[in-house]
Amino acid sequence: EHVEIALSRIRRYTDLPIAVGFGIKTPEQAAKIAQYANAAVVGSELVSRVEYNLDANGKPTSAYHWHL
C-alpha cells in the first residue's frame, strides 16, 4: 500500500521506469511490487543465495539450481 502511494507521487515527476528493491525475498513479494513498479530488485536475496552455496574458500558447494 505504501509502495503504491509512493510510486504514484514519483510518477508525477518522471516518465522513467521505476525499480523498487530492499527486502524483496519471495516471488510473491516481487509480483506484488510488479503491480506498481516497472521492476522488482532482488539483489540482496540473490547475494544471500549465492553465498549460501559457497564453501569457506568461496568455491561452489552445489549447482545453483534455484529461482527467485
Asked whether residue 12 is assigned to any structural domain, the reply reads: yes
Inside any domain, residue 18: yes
pTM of the model: 0.61
| pLDDT at site 50 | 78
| Tally of domains within the chain | 1
Q: Is residue 27 part of a domain?
A: yes
Domain residues for 33?
A: 2-41
Which burial class, exposed, middle or buried, applies to 5 when counting CB atoms under 10 A from its CB (0-12, 13-18, 19+)? exposed
Can you give the pLDDT at residue 13? Answer: 96
In a domain, 58, yes or no: no
Q: What pLDDT, in 10s, does the model give residues 55-66?
A: 788 787 766 555
Residue 37 φ then ψ, to 5°: -105, 165
Q: Is the model more confident about 49 or about 20? A: 20
Separation between Cα atoms, residue 33 and residue 55, nearest integer Å: 33
Evaluate whether residue 6 is within a structural domain. Answer: yes
